[in-house]
Amino acid sequence: MLIYTLQRIGLAILICITSMCLLFGALHLIPGDLATIMLGSRATKEMRDNLNHEMGLDRPVPVQLAKFLGRIVQGDLGSDPVTKRSVATIIMENLPYTLVLILTALGWSAALGIPLGCYSAIRRNSWIDRVTGVISVGTISIPSFVVAIYALLLFAIQVNWFPVIGAGDPGNLGDQIWHLVLPSFAVGLGWVGYLARLVRASMLEVMGEHHVRTARAFGLPEAKIILHYALRIAILPTITMLALAIGGLLSSAVFAENIFARPGIGKLIVDAAYLHNYPVVQGAVLTTVALFALAMPIADLLIAWLDPRVRATF
Amino acid sequence: MSAQPSDALAPVELIPEAPGFLISIVRRLRGDPLGLLGLLIVLTVIVLAIIGPSIAPYSPFKIKVPERFMPPTLLALVGGGDGVHGTFSHVFGTDNLGRDVFSRVLAGTQIALGVGGGSIAIALVIGLMLGLIAGYGPRWLDNFLMLLFDSIYSFPTVILGLTVMTLLGPSIPTLMFVVVVIQTPAYGRLIRTATLATKSSEYILAIRSLGSSPGRILLVHILPNIIGPLFIVASMDIPSVIALEAGLTYLGLGIPPPAPSWGRILQEGFESIRDAPWIVVAGGIPLILTTLGFTFLGESLRDLLDPKLRRIV
């Protein structure tokens, strides 16, 4: 078990390092020099040299890579050339907003999608099952940013139920939740159908297994069989999916944050991208990669903890 | 109950060779209304992309500032066409520069399909080659490629797209490059797994012992056996690639103006969402319909042609 855990964490770290090297490589392979891109074509040579020196771009490439990796290990993501503040600080200010948005979206979509999938599996081929099937495919394929724009048009502009922009008054929890409704709706909508389909498929598989049949033979009540014996196993693939979903959720969050003008990592990246503020883009991107890479081993361990059969194979 | 169990138990025909292939698919889709709907939408979108420029009532670039923010025909039917409620000359109304939204939406079809289909085709070829190399080549190369694929995979797609677009500057080739980078690992992985499974089979061993070169074994003997599922997976990726193109363009980091991508129409419409909500509605609906159409069709095709894939995808 310990070896397995270490292996998973090791792989996550290796993926993080490779991603950093890819980012670093991309930075050096681009045509033209970074200082010109960041400062624009009207910058003087002196300004460019200054920025290059400030960012350490005038040193040999291997030295830069070593320094770059070394600094990141210490949690130093460099400093923002525009505001001169530490990139790590800027990210820590924005990250909570994104995490709250993603977790709320995941929460409501799981609360709706898992029971829906469960019900579809038990009442297979009923009209609820069929409608759920069609709606699932539909909501999965609609781009989340169109959902966000339409939700904003409908619920915040046409009927004035929800606020249009921002994340709400920092001291006022109710106001913050109020501002969270539409963005988390847009981010989570596609996942309702996805989770329902996933849970349905794995429930159908589990309901045919021996231990469920045994439980039936013992005459246990159907509700107990479904909740304690079937769903407990059927939920496991969903946990892996939820960890994989972090990437998709972060992508949706980029749109939701920009459309609803909410602070967060996604808005930070887009705003920095407009200004060609590369250090901020780089820091924010690395943060999202790290989130994703770490979510996988956590999900694996969670599954091992929940399913004694998986634990036994270690 | 006197119904005869005739059709249901009749032996299922195998998919015939090229000439009857499309007809056979349509025939098989008949029992699947969603799949048929998907096929209908996809065919319509393809036809519109081809004939769009010739049926568009106006040029998608023609600026006519005095006619800005003219409401669409639907509002005219409600309000009587008095110019406030809508006009009959612009079906989807006009945008902030007086351009005809309907003509722009039509022109956007070409961009969506062109960029989506083109970049997926390139990603298919590259993914295929890398997958074959990873599956058949030495172990270290396999490990290296897998680590590379996993690392690319760990970037959230939109965020990877934003990063590359920031570095290289928004343009159609850059956008296609982004799609290729994002999609290649998925195809590479699929082909690698299939190659690994195939290369230890006996007929490959027999060909190898006859002295066939690795290139010949890969291209002539392994490739035809594993390529089928790849096309199904790729066709199911078209909606997400179209959405990615529109999304990045919406954020201003995709296809540069004035090209009328659906994402651009949505972005320009969003700026005047209070005064002219019909622009975002007209820009979003073709995007929703196209992604729905491709998804419905892709799901049906997958179930029809390769039920095994159901578990993988």
* CATH number where B262 lies: 1.10.3720.10
Residues of A in contact with B167 (CB under 8 A): 26-27, 30, 37, 278
8 Å CB contact between A122 and A129: no
- Burial (CB < 10 A; 0-12, 13-18, 19+), residue A21, is middle
- Chain A closest-CA separation from residue B288 CA (Å): 6
Q: Is residue B13 part of a domain?
A: no
Tens digit of each residue's pLDDT (9 = 90 or more) over A177-217: 888 888 999 999 988 888 888 888 888 888 888 888 888 88
Q: Considering chain A, what is the average pLDDT of its residues?
A: 82
Tens digit of each residue's pLDDT (9 = 90 or more) over B33-64: 888 888 899 999 999 888 877 787 777 777 77
pLDDT at A309 over 80: no
Q: Which residues of A213-242 are buried (b: 16+ CB within 10 A; e: fewer)?
A: eebeeeeeeeeebbeebbbebbbbebbbbb
Q: Is residue B271 part of a domain?
A: yes
Q: Which of B36, B151, B157, B244 to mutate to test the interface with A (most CBs of A within 10 A)?
A: B151
Is the pTM of the predicted complex or chain greater than 0.90?
Answer: no
**Angstrom distance (rounded) from CA A158 to CA A152:** 9
Nearest by CB: A134 against B34, B150, B165: B34
Q: Is residue B95 part of a domain?
A: yes
pLDDT at B95 over 50: yes
Tens digit of each residue's pLDDT (9 = 90 or more) over A4-30: 778 878 888 888 888 888 877 777 666
Instruction: Give the pLDDT score at B79.
Output: 60
Closest alpha carbon within chain A to B289: A142
- Nearest alpha carbon to residue A254 among A204, A198, A183, A309: A183
**Residue B93, SS3?**
coil
Question: Domain containing B144: what range?
Answer: 21-305
Nearest by CB: A293 against B154, B274, B296: B154
Least confident residue range of A87-96, A171-180, B86-95, B233-242:
B86-95
Nearest by CB: A149 against B156, B158, B284: B284
Q: Is residue B93 part of a domain?
A: yes
pLDDT at B12 over 70: no
Q: Is residue B128 part of a domain?
A: yes
- Burial (CB < 10 A; 0-12, 13-18, 19+), residue B205, is exposed
Instruction: Give the pLDDT score at B3.
Output: 44
Under an 8 A CB cutoff, do B155 and A288 touch?
yes
Token pair, residue A286, equals 């690395």
More confident call, A33 vs B280: B280
Instruction: Give the pLDDT score at B180.
Output: 93
8 Å CB contact between A94 and A263: yes
**Angstrom distance (rounded) from CA A117 to CA A194:** 9
Residues of B in contact with A278 (CB under 8 A): 166-167
Instruction: Give the pLDDT score at B310.
Output: 47
Q: Which of A19, A141, A194 to mutate to test the interface with B (most CBs of B within 10 A)?
A: A141
Q: Is residue B2 part of a domain?
A: no
Average pLDDT over residues A166-183: 79
Closest alpha carbon within chain B to A156: B274
Instruction: Give the pLDDT score at A265.
Output: 92
Instruction: Give the pLDDT score at B7.
Output: 47
Residues of A in contact with B243 (CB under 8 A): 143, 145
Q: Considering chain B, what is the average pLDDT of its residues?
A: 80
Instruction: Give the pLDDT score at B8.
Output: 47
Residues of A in contact with B294 (CB under 8 A): 141
Average pLDDT over residues A146-152: 89
Q: Is residue B286 part of a domain?
A: yes
Instruction: Give the pLDDT score at B249.
Output: 92
**Angstrom distance (rounded) from CA A115 to CA A235:** 11
Inter-chain contacts counted by CB atoms under 8 A, chains A and B = 133
Instruction: Give the pLDDT score at A1.
Output: 64
Domain count, chain B: 1
Closest alpha carbon within chain B to A23: B163
- Burial (CB < 10 A; 0-12, 13-18, 19+), residue A115, is middle
Q: Is residue B313 part of a domain?
A: no
Under an 8 A CB cutoff, do A150 and B284 touch?
yes
Instruction: Give the pLDDT score at B308.
Output: 54
Under an 8 A CB cutoff, do B159 and A146 touch?
no
**Residue A60, SS3?**
coil
- Chain B closest-CA separation from residue A16 CA (Å): 7
- Chain B closest-CA separation from residue A155 CA (Å): 13
**Angstrom distance (rounded) from CA A4 to CA A9:** 9
Tens digit of each residue's pLDDT (9 = 90 or more) over B163-184: 888 888 888 898 999 999 999 9
Under an 8 A CB cutoff, do A269 and B284 touch?
no
CB atoms within 10 A of CB B82: 9
- Chain B closest-CA separation from residue A101 CA (Å): 16
Q: Which residues of B touch A (CB under 8 A)?
A: 34, 147-148, 150-160, 162-168, 239, 243, 246-247, 250-253, 266, 270, 273-274, 277, 280-281, 284, 287-288, 291-292, 294-296, 299
Nearest by CB: B266 against A19, A149, A250: A149
Average pLDDT over residues B268-288: 86
Tens digit of each residue's pLDDT (9 = 90 or more) over B232-259: 788 888 888 999 999 999 998 888 888 8
Residues of A in contact with B295 (CB under 8 A): 137-138, 140-141
8 Å CB contact between B75 and B281: no
- Chain B closest-CA separation from residue A273 CA (Å): 6
Least confident residue range of A248-257, B80-89, B230-239:
B80-89
pLDDT at B66 over 50: yes
B149 band by pLDDT with thresholds 50, 70 and 90: confident
- Chain A closest-CA separation from residue B212 CA (Å): 36
B121 band by pLDDT with thresholds 50, 70 and 90: very high
Residues of A in contact with B157 (CB under 8 A): 247-248, 251
Start-end of H helices in A260-307: 265-274, 278-306
Nearest by CB: B280 against A153, A250, A254: A153
